[in-house]
Amino acid sequence: MFTRILIANRGEIALRVQRTCRELGIETVAVYSEPDRNALHVRAADAAVCIGPGPATESYLLIDKIIEVALATGAQAIHPGYGFLSENARFADACVAAGIVFIGPSGSAMRALGDKVSARKLMETAGVPVVPGANDIDANDIETARREATRIGFPLLVKAAAGGGGRGIRVVDRLEDLEGAMRASGAEAATSFGDATIFLERYVTNARHVEVQMMADAFGEVRAYGERECSVQRRHQKLVEEAPSVAVTPEIRKAMCDAAIAAAKSCGYRNAGTVEFLLASTGEFYFLEVNARLQVEHPVTELVYGVDLVKQQLQVAAGEPLPPYPYPGPMEPRGWAIECRINGEDPYQNFMPSLGLVQHMQPPLGPGTRFDTMLFDGLDVPIFYDSLLGKLIVWAETRDLALRRMRRALRDLVIAGIATNIPFHMALFENDDFKAGRIHTGWLESSFTMPEPPEDDPREITALIAAALAAGMTAAAPAANGRPASGGSNAWARQNRSRSMSFRGGGGGWQRGTAS
């Protein structure tokens, strides 16, 4: 097993990886941008190195800089988390070339699965069900696209071959709308991914987004940890995930898991990955894509299958076989888990991003409740990154109890100073269709209406009072030596940074003291 790894990420996923490493006795190296200087993942690391200013293109996306830091700090491996460089085949190859283990699939597997057109072809060869479509369409070849669209039928999707995160996708209901959708999708794909190639795919209406978590080792074993339901989406972005799915029978689960295993074996896949499917109301399912990394929603799988997926990632990357499944008998979900993504955005203002100073944060407590977050009192949320502030996850013996537990946890969670989508989640968990599981990928935008905001939100008032009291007590509390105590978060930051080691460039070497 490794003794030191670098985590090429930030926020709650960096903290998540650090916690497992600490349990395994593995030291961690944090990289951070200037706005993240006081972030929790920096404080918690054994070593921390600043790699640039706020924009990700000048910090968290700098492959050469991150590898330089890994080599200088003696890190044997790099965990990419999710987002940023996690699915960058060039980064995976660069790690290997530098003699560093990349904790994820190989660059060749990423290339085979990262391009959606090549992934579709690979799945067809492997016998995995694929949505009818047309591959390798030139965004300017309108005539060919029209012929293929007529053959596929409407409605259909125009999708970016190198796309991800919902970018480069357009829904087309009529032939006359095809050209405009192609040009828009191609332009967005070129801007976002540097590749304007698109493909056409039948739009399976009222379908569910169901995905299978898999893990593969270097000895040929591929394990599928059941399914996650991810159909509550807004603009192709997931907001709520649960495991298992109300729509998946044991027979469908087995067929999906078999397909996911076949997908992984088709390209010699290794480490964690997710195979995403569209599940039609008829019970038929179709391959959607493979996410060659750990997913944001991995905790719900961990809770219902009793596994630590990050630990298994580290074990597999270190050349160890997959450990035995911790429970006797067949691998079946135990209980029900639900995750809500807590984002910095205002649901009463069309989900406008909300950033700024977190005045007070009170996490929910109680049985079966977990809050993975980067938040703390006094955090100034940077403008440079996505809006995810944390993930609220609950587990219970049944779905009904999990729903009730989530409603309780949402009421208990307090974040003061910035707007969040907590009111959206609270309204969603009171919706009859959602509670009954009558959802699909288009349900939220077509059928759910956000209620009007209350005139006086007692939770916000309580949060502001708590923040004021906390600030007052911190300012008034005397230190042990009789001098007034400094600000809690700043003192904490100074104390933790003084314990960390930072690398100073220009031949300065390693130095104890304030992180650079």
List residues with catalytic annotation.
293
Q: How far is CA 326 from the centre of its chain?
A: 25
Tokens of 260: 């996911």
Q: Could you tell me where the DSSP H helices lie in 266-306? A: 298-305
Residue 420, CA distances (Å) to 359, 425, 437 in order: 13, 10, 24
CA distance 28 to 6: 6
Q: What are phi and psi of 137, to 5 degrees?
A: -95, 130
Angle between helix 309-317 and 298-305 (nearest 10): 100
Q: What are phi and psi of 290, to 5 degrees?
A: -115, 130
**Beta strand ranges found along 146-270 (DSSP E):** 156-160, 170-172, 198-202, 208-216, 222-234, 237-243
CA distance 57 to 84: 9
Residue 370, CA distances (Å) to 364, 409, 478, 504 in order: 8, 9, 34, 37
* 348 close to 423: Cβ distance less than 8 angstroms: yes
